[in-house]
Amino acid sequence: MKRITNLWPGGRLKALTLSYDDGVEQDRSLVEIFNKYNLKATFNINSGIQSESSIWNDKGVTIRRMNAFGLEELYDGHEVAVHTLTHPSLVDIPHELVLKEIIEDKKRHEEQFGYLVRGMAYPFGTYNDDVIEVVKFCGIEYARTVNQHEQFTLPDNYYKWHPTCHHINPKLMDLTQAYIQKVGGPLSLIFVWGHSYEFAVDNNWELIEEFSKQIGNRSEIWYATNIQVVDYLKAQRRLKYSTDCSMVYNESSLSIWISVDDQAHEVMPGRTVLL
């Protein structure tokens, strides 16, 4: 019997994804850093209050959301996802408002950015089973929480997708080094989240610069947005194998990679491959 295991694109075993919230001015500097090191991120923004008039203060630092104009260029190559129209705690409002907050935010993002928006981050990290049902109804395929587990595991529930850690976690760089040094399977993922304004508040832009420098531009790591991770994993799980695992059929539109007796194989879209 052949030994068959899953791989990320390009035959990799490791992947990185990032998620940042609120569409604030500091995203400009953060995107510049991510692009410098070829990292991919998801930016969760609130279309109903995406304006420079949306201002608050944190530890003496003025935080300001960006105007919506020009965000297409800024976030090009990354993912824009739902964060609701006005950033309420979804467990504290009627279901009818939960529906409006999500579906209208999704609609506005799609109109502005010109692609299907299928991801989300919960405002304040609050959710429950009723909220999740509305999220699913709106055509959202994943939703990120703020519950960090400090592991490199894959999501087991796309609507309770817990990240590895927030960037202010004191273990961030230790986790980063552990991930860089990690050898062999199983398939793994490091997922970091936060708010870019926190680097201004904490005066520690060097933290995300050093993190990005260490983990970026590595051939053994696949860099992906949140939705790219979800799409790939879903397509991978739809692979069809023959009874004796001598053949595999890829019904999806993505190339999927697998390891067969420690040899990487690419299964092209719509193809059946002899193993």
Q: Per-residue pLDDT tens, the chain, 275 aa: give them.
A: 789 999 999 999 999 999 999 999 999 999 999 999 999 999 999 999 999 999 999 998 899 999 999 999 999 999 999 999 999 999 999 999 999 999 999 999 999 999 999 999 999 999 999 999 999 999 999 999 999 999 999 999 999 999 999 999 999 999 999 999 999 989 999 999 999 999 999 999 999 999 999 999 999 999 999 999 999 999 999 999 999 999 999 999 999 999 999 999 999 999 999 99
**One domain for residues 19 and 155:** yes
CB 19 within 8 A of CB 230: no
Torsion region of 60: left, alpha or beta (phi above 0 gives left; psi -120 to 50 gives alpha): left
- Note whether residue 262 is domain-resident: yes
How far is residue 78's CA from residue 18's CA, in Å, rounded to a whole number? 10
Tokens of residue 209, six digits: 């610069």
**The domain containing residue 262 runs over which residues?**
241-274
**One domain for residues 72 and 169:** yes
Task: Give the CATH number for residue 182.
Answer: 3.20.20.370
**One domain for residues 213 and 262:** no
- Note whether residue 7 is domain-resident: no
**One domain for residues 129 and 257:** no
How far is residue 22's CA from residue 105's CA, in Å, rounded to a whole number? 13
**One domain for residues 107 and 87:** yes
Counting Cβ atoms within 10 Å, is residue 13 exposed (0-12), middle (13-18) or buried (19+)? buried
**One domain for residues 127 and 209:** yes
